[in-house]
Amino acid sequence: MVRAAVLPAVGSPLEITEIELPEPGPGQVRVRLAAAGVCHSDLSLSDGTMRLPVPAVLGHEGAGTVVSVGPGVTHVAPGDGVVLNWAPSCGACHACSLGEVWLCAEALTGAGTVHARRSSDGTELYPGLNVAAFAEETVVAAGCVLPAPDGIPLADAALLGCAVLTGYGAVHHSAAVRPGETVAVFGVGGVGLAALQAARIAGASTIVAVDVSPEKESLAREAGATEYVVASDTTAREIRGLTGKQGVDVAVECVGRAVTIRTAWESTRRGGRTTVVGIGGKDQQVTFNALEIFHWGRTLSGCVFGNSDPSRDLPVLAAHVRAGRLDLRSMVTEHIGLEDIPAAFDNMLAGKGGRALVTFPPAPDGR
């Protein structure tokens, strides 16, 4: 039996309870979690913005140690450190054939995922986003684990599984920021902090952080922001004022709200680029008129998982971490237990803090 955070129904409070995991079958891996980040996507799953079958164990950003493997698993072995990959690509669909593995048609279908059972009544539990990281241990498909980079503690490496791959990828892959360009990042949460660091690594000249909370300024500047704007009705005008009345070359929206997407677009120069990372609800409608689309010549693009390929990008991120260019620990503003996840959700809704990280104690047998 292991402890886990279970979502019994969409919109219901999380329940911290014991669950029973099956032994790993063919092509499966059992992992003891060291840490799991609390991502806004987990909140979106819990409130129904993103759909998932319930009851479910949430959590998709994590790292830990392999406990055991099923037949056919050769890329990891018991005792290995691993980073969880919540969107494993199939390698066979149309998107994968184009090299766009972040758009894999099979990544979130649940194929190969493992179901736990709630110990109190035997109810089958679904794994949220394939990996069910809000648990002391989890059993996942082999494609959901990647060898952890050498020299990086597992608690730090947990952030690589979602926030950093997404924020870094949004800047380097989707927006393709070039040295000397100006960048605005909207939303200073976990993904936004990664995007700010990525913009600095890319050599951006002016980096503007935008958030509703004035308390996040020091956090944003530590990540690489050269300017800080508290979100308001005049945000686009303020950003243009900071960039010679032109607007930034690139805006990265990490919030997922219609008003923020529209403001990010308006904050870019004529011919500028806006990358939308935040996940919004179907009721969030963004409108443009035909004349302004022609006149401004701007580009607005979506971004899934930072347009990242974890097997390709994880070694690159690890090299940045080891060289001191990418600081994972500075992104974590709170270390919590499973029982504190609901409070972390509340903090996200209130716009407080960066990344909350659930840290797990070692297993009783020391593994």
Query: Are 170 and 184 found together in one domain?
Result: yes
**Rounded to whole angstroms, how far apart are CA atoms 188 and 268?**
18
Query: Are 133 and 249 found together in one domain?
Result: no
**Rounded to whole angstroms, how far apart are CA atoms 92 and 101?**
10
Query: Are 228 and 261 found together in one domain?
Result: yes
Which pLDDT score is estimated for 328? 97
Q: Collect contacts of 49-54 with beta carbons under 8 A, ≥24 apart.
A: 49/279, 49/280, 49/281, 50/279, 52/126, 52/128, 52/129, 53/110, 53/126, 54/7, 54/8, 54/9, 54/10, 54/126
pLDDT tens digits for range 234-286: 999 999 999 999 999 999 999 999 999 999 999 999 999 999 999 988 899 99
**Rounded to whole angstroms, how far apart are CA atoms 87 and 77?**
21
pLDDT, tens digit only, all 367 positions of the chain: 999 999 999 989 999 999 999 999 999 999 999 999 999 889 888 988 888 889 999 999 999 999 999 999 999 999 999 999 999 999 999 999 999 999 998 887 766 677 888 877 888 999 989 999 999 999 999 999 999 999 999 999 999 999 999 999 999 999 999 999 999 999 999 999 999 999 999 999 999 999 999 999 999 999 999 999 999 999 999 999 999 999 999 999 999 999 999 999 999 999 999 999 999 888 999 999 999 999 999 999 999 999 999 999 999 999 999 999 999 999 999 999 999 999 999 998 888 888 999 999 887 665 5
46 lies in a domain? yes
Which pLDDT score is estimated for 29? 97
The structural domain count of the chain equals: 2
Which pLDDT score is estimated for 48? 86
Query: Are 147 and 22 found together in one domain?
Result: yes
Which pLDDT score is estimated for 115? 81
Query: Are 187 and 89 found together in one domain?
Result: no
Query: Are 290 and 182 found together in one domain?
Result: yes
**Rounded to whole angstroms, how far apart are CA atoms 69 and 358?**
24
Q: Residue 278's domain is classified under what CATH number?
A: 3.40.50.720
315 lies in a domain? no
Domain range enclosing 125: 2-161+327-359
Q: Residue 349's domain is classified under what CATH number?
A: 3.90.180.10
Query: Are 121 and 180 found together in one domain?
Result: no
